[in-house]
Amino acid sequence: MTKFEDEDFTDAEFRECDLTRARLIGVVMQDAVIDGLVSHLVVNGVEVASFVEAELDRRHPVRLLIRSADVVDLRQAQRRLQADWEKAVELLGQLPEGSAHLQVAGEWSAVETLRHLVFVHDSWFRRCCLGSARRFTALGLAGPQVPDQAEQGLDQTADPSLQDVLAVRHQQALELGTWLARVPPRELSASAPVPSGPGWPPYATDKSVLQCLQVVLNEEREHYGFCVRDLELFRR
């Protein structure tokens, strides 16, 4: 177990770190930001994660739709998320030229975020919900934890324009919307038809189609929030 004592972490940044069962005792934490998968978080003896989740549901009702197993709710969630991203693209159009490619504090730019969602659609929807073995869209962007990216079709040297990425996103939204319009409820509860052999994600074989779809929708929601948060900084 790593132990830190009398250390000064002012302005420190912990990125992609596993803090499971971490204990912070006698700490000073002012103006801190925690963004990630947080559950059973106890602050000064009070479990606060449930309060945070309830407040997030109040602020973002689409979260409730995404967690639903009802295909009607899931269709509505996809439509709302599409509308949100359309607003984000409108916001981009109001910003100085080149803003779509700017990063904030090392986070993905708007274009990079949209490219990542192209990859999420290919991996978690086409591969896991449809059982497709086709190669991923070349301009998609995966995180560094994804191995063999070139072999799976990703071009790590790609530098597409915003319009190029939006064109792909439009086709993917149509594909998902068409599937949701006719998928029978029993198919959602079935095991994900992940093709055999290597590919991403490698851990989806024990998930249902519904769970894989919810990953796609949650990624859309979360990355929309990240993107708009950063774009708003450009307007100040």
Locate all alpha helices (DSSP H) within 18-144, ordered by sequence: 49-59, 62-67, 71-93, 110-120
**Residue that is written with structure tokens 């597409």 in the block:** 160
Write down the pLDDT at residue 142.
Answer: 98
DSSP 230: H
What domains can be seen in the chain, in order of their start residue?
A: 64-234 (1.20.120.450)
What integer is the mean pLDDT of 209-215? 98
The whole-model pTM stands at: 0.89
**Integer Cα distance of 189 and 37 in angstroms:** 24
Question: How many angstroms separate the first and last alpha carbons of the chain?
Answer: 43
Question: Could you tell me the pLDDT band of residue 80, with boundaries at 50, 70 and 90?
Answer: very high
Write down the pLDDT at residue 87.
Answer: 96
Write down the pLDDT at residue 45.
Answer: 87
Cβ-contact 198, 216 below 8 angstroms: no
What integer is the mean pLDDT of 144-169? 96
Cβ-contact 100, 110 below 8 angstroms: yes
Task: Supply the DSSP string of 151-190, one letter for each residue.
Answer: TTT--TT----HHHHHHHHHHHHHHHHHHHHH--HHHHTS
pLDDT digits (tens, 9 = 90+) for 3-59: 888 888 888 888 778 888 888 777 888 888 887 778 888 888 889 889 889 999 999
Q: Is the pLDDT of residue 107 over 90?
A: yes
